[in-house]
Structure 1
Amino acid sequence: MHGIVACEAYIPYHRLERAAISTSLGGGVVSGARSVASYDEDATSMAVEAARSVLRTVPTAARPRRLYLATTVPPYLDKTNATVAHSALALDSGALAVDMCGGVRSGAGAFLAAAEASEPAMALLSDIRTGLPGSADEREGGDAAAAVLFGPGDSDTPVLAEVVSAAAETEEFLDRWRAPGDLASRVWEDRFAEHVYVPLAMDTLSAALKKADLTPGGVDHLVVCGLPRRSVRRVAAGTGIPADRVVPDLAEVIGNPGTAQLGVLLAAALRRAGPGDTIALLLLADGATAFILRTTAQIGRRRPAAPLAGGGAALRYPTFLNWRGMLAREPPRRPDPEPPAAPPAYRSRAYKHAFTATRCTRCGRVSLPPAQVCFHCGAVDTMESHPMARAHGTVATFTVDRLAFTPHPPMIAVVVDFDGGGRFRCELTDADASQVAIGDPVEMTFRRLLTADGVHNYFWKARPVRRAGGET
């Protein structure tokens, strides 16, 4: 059986209360909050975090041989973004990594390509949604990523759900568009989108159910997603499937994460599903796409983990605008950062992207950065590769630097002592400078340090270890 063997979502730490927008710009107060990618996150780094959550639950043999990254906001246009994720995940060089970029529907393409692959394959769905200040896109959007791993399944990595059928309706109509270089999308009138989407969605779902030999009454969990919110709500209410079987869209908690919503809500559906349940996924984007899934008896063995439901302190609206490039803030009076050079970045890719250290086979000491000579015993050429991306550690010491270059001052620099050996100096992210203390537990996260001359400098930072709900 080939099917889903793991599915996880990544929700960024920061939240923006919608009331903060209306307070700043005026207008009625709107409830709820939206998730916000940090200044050092983008679609690629969030996809890596979602994939890391998946890979830590499966053995090496189940690691993907194909990687499909779907997003509407690729950090690079004339370069494959999926190769950065491939390198950060330390996948085999023979594994294919490709982008599926453009509209939200690219997420359905990545999902279907991974589902139909003859070998282990992963769909990475990631998006950062924004709009002009005060717009519905800004208010109702959200940032998130999801990773769905498909494979043949075995005793160690059982199939949790199989794709029973799929159907699609494609139509060319103008309801949402964004030209290259534009900061935000433009949207046609909601009633026009509703007029087109609703019949397309109903026909697509009916076709998928017919292929699976099911009726609407046989669906245990319904996921309806897409950016045209009015159309989505009408479709969810008009399928004939009871309302208590509709998976909540999480709009009040994280907003609508566009391309990632399909994977995020699938993870939510798998968390609540029981053995033998039927899940219907319906995406409204440039037409309609439907998938019918059926869970196996193994669903209880590896349910998706619940992503952090709450963030830290509420993000200030001017900070959000600054992170989105809508509000220019004077940078520190320091020399502009320089982009990493291609040759040394390539030579050190195992360290730079996969955070691989070296360990002395003679004395057991770990060296970060990797070294050829052991700093402890002086042995030469006795070092072996030692992965550190999953390592946990504690803050040995730290400093709050208000002069160093950072898009979000002040910079928190920490020295981390890793469990099992190794010491490393790096930045601390997703943290309040006033709350940092020696001895705090931390873990590593893949981030974008800076962008210079169009080159994104990806590396690793430490972040506080938090439990569900956001507590440290």
Structure 2
Amino acid sequence: MSGITSFGAYIPYYRLTHKEIARAWGGRAGDGERAVANVDEDSITMAVEAVRDLLRGRDSHDVDGVVFASTTSPYSEKSASALIATAADLRHDVRTADYTNSLRASTSAILSSIDSIKAGSASRVIVTAADTRLAAPKSTAERLYGDAAAAIEVGSDGVIAKLIASHSTVDEITDMWRRPGDRFVSGWEERFAVTEGYQRILREGVGELFERSGIGPAEIAKAIFYAPDPGSLGALARSIGLKQDQLPDHLFGSVGCPGTAMPLLVLASVLEAARPGEKLLVAGYGSGCDALLFEVTDEIEKHRSSSRRAVSGHLAAKSTLESYERYSKFRDLIETEAARRQAPTASASQTWRERDDVYRFYGYRCLECEKVQYPRQRICIKCRARDNFESVKLADKQAGLFTFTLDYLNSDADPPSVMCVVDFDGGGRAFLMMTDRNPSDVKIDQQVEMTFRRLYDAEGFTNYYWKCRPVR
């Protein structure tokens, strides 16, 4: 039996209300908000957070592979999944792959990963999907889009939702696209894209799945789709024969449409409350469709007490951006005067040498006096022992804020920079930046946790590192 064995999610801390977008451009807007990635977040950092949420409270070294699905990978030529696997502290011999350039990359990755499980080439594979799609300012899509990530683990042991049927189609259509060098997603006339693209292709693909599996619409507990907007989703469901109560909340009013991540994010939300025996339909769309049928097993009950935050926990932890102007700075939509400070530098060779410090965020415990220190040094700062250390994973530890300063002169897109010295539970101290924070709320002894973020771009590549954020 192969299927889903675990799940995780990540939704950025910041939200932008539909009313604020309407205020900026004029016009009307109803209630609702969209999730906005912080200025130091991208699809890689969000995918890392979703994987870490999935792995919360368990050993990361039992995973055999990680697959990254996105239409907004920061690199056109460089493995994002390799960086995600390293930051999540997976083994060095895991299999990695990137699925890109299609909105159904996530569901295609799920199917391929389950195939590898069935073939015996892997026991556990994590599929993580994340997108930070950018819509043109003042467009309808600017309100509809949202940023988020999700992670689904597939395997053959401890299956919480077994795959009972699947069907895929290909249907070439130019409805939505973004070429190299384009900042914004483009689309053809909406009625054509929705009627002849989205609704027709999914209606036919899901109908063929029902016919081949012998399972009808009435047997589906929850139907999960990629959807560009609530209206198109509702019309699709009715055309398939689904009732309103079979559609879970697709998070349009709280997150928005997170592109490739949408089917996995809504699936993770449904799995939080799923019951044994329920049948779940999951469908991804993009120049064709993937339609998957899962049946929830008794194993789902063992996941109720998990320490993961999943979708519900991330929805509860949020802060509303006070203005569209701040959002536009996050997305570099307007040009502002650059800080008159020396530009940051970077070294790919130095980062490679220190990859366990930089990406895995390992501290080091002296085996003679047990002092924990960071970063790596050859001589213990306490007992002066030489080259006698063991690695300590700091990324999963909470810490207390020892001291901090607010730097208004740093070239931060969201000033001031909160520069912190933190003391980790169990020992160790580090100098870090704080993110997802309100500077006026920062205080000594505040509890913080670690998060993987973009630091800056220099020498033509993106530099990633760990920051701290308040525990919420």
For normalisation by structure 2, the TM-score amounts to 0.94
Counterpart residue number, 1:265:
266
- Cα 1:315–1:103 change in 2 (3 A) is farther
Question: TM-score scaled to structure 1, two decimals?
Answer: 0.94
The one of 132, 140, 157 equivalent to 1:128 is 132
Q: CA deviation at 1:272?
A: 2.2
Residue 359 of structure 2, aligned match among 350, 353, 362: 353
Aligned residues: 460
Paired position in structure 2 for 1:116: 115
Partner of 1:469: none
SS across alignment from 1:272: coil
Structure 2 equivalent of residue 322 of structure 1 = 329
1:43-76 Cα distance to aligned partner (Å, 9 max, x none): 000000000011124444632x221111111111
Give the deviation of 1:315 after TM superposition. Answer: 4.2
Unpaired segments ≥5 residues, structure 2: none
How far did 1:425 drift? 0.9
Contact 1:401 1:412 in 2 (8 A): yes
Match of 2:208 in 1: 207
Q: Is the 8 A contact 1:9 1:264 kept in 2?
A: yes
Matches within 5 A, 1:55-454: 55-60=55-60, 62-63=62-63, 65-118=64-117, 119=122, 120-153=124-157, 158-196=158-196, 197-227=198-228, 230-303=231-304, 305=310, 306-310=312-316, 311-338=318-345, 340-454=346-460
> What percentage of residue pairs aligned between the two structures are identical?
33
Work out the CA distance in 2 between the residues paired with 1:61 and 1:254.
31
Give the drift of 1:219.
0.7
In 1, Cα distance between equivalents of 2:356 and 2:405: 28
The one-letter amino acid paired with 2:246 is: R
Contact 1:37 1:143 in 2 (8 A): yes
What's the C-alpha RMSD, in Å, of the aligned pairs? 1.5
- After TM superposition, the runs of 4+ consecutive aligned structure 1 residues lying more than 4 A away are none
38-47 or 267-276: which moved more? 267-276
Contact 1:357 1:388 (8 Å CA) reproduced: yes
Letter in 2 for 1:161: A
Once residues 335 and 432 of structure 2 are traced to their aligned partners in structure 1, the CA distance between those partners, rounded to angstroms, is 26
Rounded Cα–Cα distance in structure 2 between residues aligned with 1:323 and 1:349: 28
Contact 1:14 1:315 in 2 (8 A): no
Return the offset for 1:390. 0.2
2:8–2:53: 8 Å Cα contact kept in structure 1?
yes
- In structure 2, give the amino acid aligned to 1:174: T
Q: Deviation per CA, 1:235-281, whole angstroms, max 9, x where unpaired?
A: 12222222112111110001110111011000011112101110001
Contact map agreement 2:60 2:89 (CA 8 A) in 1: no
**Hey, what's the Cα distance between the residues in 1 that align with 2:104 and 2:241?**
25
Which segment is superposed worse, 205-214 or 398-407? 205-214
- For 2:93 and 2:322, the matched residues in 1 are separated by 42
Distance in 2 (CA, whole Å) between partners of 1:402 and 1:376 is 35
CA-CA distance at 1:230 after TM superposition: 4.2
SS of 1:279's partner is: strand
Equivalent pair of 1:129/1:137 in contact (CA under 8 Å): no
* Cα distance in 2, alignment partners of residues 98 and 399 from structure 1: 41
Structure 1 contact 70–110 (Cα < 8 Å) conserved: yes
Report the Cα offset of residue 92 of structure 1. 1.6
Query: Structure 1: any 5+ residue segments left out of the alignment?
Result: 467-472
Other structure's SS at 1:70 match: strand
Q: CA deviation at 1:418?
A: 0.8
